[in-house]
Structure 1
Amino acid sequence: MKDPAGPSHRSLFDSTSDANLWFLRPALSGASATFVGVGLARFAYLTLFPVMVTAQWLDGGGAGLLGAFNLMGYLIGVSGGRLLAKHIGVPRSLDCGMLLTALSFFACGWNGGLVWLAIWRSAAGVSGGVLMSLAGPAVQAVVEPAQRGTAGGVVISGVGTGIIVTALAIPPILNWGLPAAWIVLAACIVILWAFARPAWPRTEIFEQPKGANFGSATVLILAYGIAGAGMVPHMVYLADLAVRGQGHTFSFATYALLLFGLGALSGTLAAGRAVDRWGGARTIQMWFAFQTFAVALVLAPPSFCLLLGAFLGGFGGIGATAVVLGRAREIAGETAGVIWQYATASFAISQAVSSLALALVFAHTGSHGQLFAVGLACSLAAVGMVTWFR
């Protein structure tokens, strides 16, 4: 195997005084990919959803359908990302993901009706799946072993950064109109692509996880999926709980979502360092425990509990993604991308199924408490799995 810190990447930092920081360039390029593929391609739509309904581009059901199409596209992208990279290489595959995301945002700037928007929101999902499935393992493959956890945390921090940016930037951009918001976001994607492209990691694609501990891999994949189901109430119903469930203002709900994003950013960065220091097996127990505590806090009535629960939900729930990436590397080495692909697909599938189930429960009961109780049960199950079955 080639030196993971090969000259094609070290040369980018020949003039850097601290050679130990050379890994930041490929890691930041990977963070740009997750920022675009998930932070914008998925979470920006959460802010734009009610605006599209208010502007009468769609009704509520149609807007919800676009979210479902985006998730289906994401599953396709996750499943096919490695196959694409095998045929055209990782850098070109990442280029395709960034290009398709930018095109989808430009296309959504025109109100072409439900079918038109569904096609392009599906395309954004496909591109997001490709970017998410490839960026993390590829960056870890080109950095020193002692820095892989930290590098993985930097890559996944793009998700939390995207949540923060959408919460802060989209409301003022909307003053220019809904089409302008889509187009400005598309332009931002092009700028990030130009920044990231020179440092795309170049690495091989391995088909099978040779020498991996399949028992540990299976536990990781299943536990991550169950934890994903536990995060659905936070990701879908947190703002509604704040406004309609607890009677807070929309400003309070926006603040809660911002704290969720800040938690996601700090949680992924801290998780990467923790994996390097304590190992993935121990760290994933801690981060799933943070998630469990976060869901329990949201169930408590005081306002500060919801805000703290929002922050810890991002810290543990989104931050766990960086831990899973690091743990996959521990289990499967250079073939970690296969485990990561399965884990990411497990997370997406479980979220799709659980979100549908919780929607039916909520439609029947109207109880936020029951939704978060289910999330708590799933989070506890995930902690139990990674504790007792390693």
Structure 2
Amino acid sequence: MADREPETLAVMTWIIDNPFVLSANLHGGSVVASYPYDDTPQPNPRGCCVASDGPDTALFRRLAAIYAQGHAFMHRGEDFCHMNERFAGGITNGAMWYDVPGGMQDFNYVFSNCVEITVELSCCKMPPESKLLTEWKSNKKALLDYIEAVHMGVKGLVFDENNNPIHGAFVGVEGIDHNVTTTERGEYWRLLLPGEYTLVASAVGFQAMRASITVKDGETSRHVFHLPRRSDSSAPDSSSDQVAAAIAGGAFVPKIGPSATPPPPTVSSSTASPPTKEPELAQTLSAEFVTPPDWQHHDYASLESWLRDLATRYPDITRLYSAGVSVQNRQLWVLEVSDNPGRHEPGEPEFKYVANMHGDETVGREMLLLLARYLCETE
């Protein structure tokens, strides 16, 4: 870990320390929603074109499709950036596109309870300010639809026989080789597609328990486990515990290493949208906000000022804090938007968007600033 930059360590720690359930990492350089794995189990000399599927590939494809279908044109999957790249339905497996050891979406899935995809928003990583209007128009619905996906699947609690929460219990799904672990309050959230499932909950010192559940589209299923204590504190040896232990394991852990981005496109056009009348569009989109946006790029100083201003104007529903500092000693700002900022609400899943992880990919940053203002002023 000593060779990692401070911002990398800070973000890794932030991910692990918070009970995030769903996430998206916003980039620029193409128009596609990418899902894990980014890395392949074995070195790939070609650096692309080999799918690296995991236990939840069907779920990841659905999540990526939610964003792509909500976007104005991403779902068409055309060669928008003139790079001879076409993505069916506007989505792709990360490694199939290009192999990235140590990608953040892989880290989230393997080392935390969070499920993350990566979204490339525009061909141009830093589109002209005049294009920010159309970028917001193209991405607004997708950004909101994807947040709602955090409620897919099942949530619940794991207690002991005396209704005490069990921290660090495993909750797995038979047939899907990936578990989640409970919070200190015994909570768990497991994103799942509609269907019939068997959940298995297990914890050190407790007997494993199974439960059959039905997940319906547009609804969140709930189940509470009460695990009886084992009379023998030795290692699990019952068939139920062995099944739970197998579910809790993982067959493939991606390598952790430096990240990468594909080469920049040769064409600077940010979208394939038809031409619009910018003054009319600006008037229409600005009317969505109480405070009309400035529709411009923000450097670090203006970003910091912008965030502080929003947090000051909406103190009851926001919390601005730093997750750490960068190698240049700049704060890694986090803006939390909640009806109870600064406090985890029992049973409620937590969601995050991350942007501007790569300094030259500014389009995601501007979309999140607009989204934060939109949520504060209209929701």
**Fold match, TM over 0.5?**
no
Q: Which has the higher strand share?
A: 2
* TM-score where L is the length of structure 2: 0.25
Q: Which has the higher helix share?
A: 1
* TM-score where L is the length of structure 1: 0.25
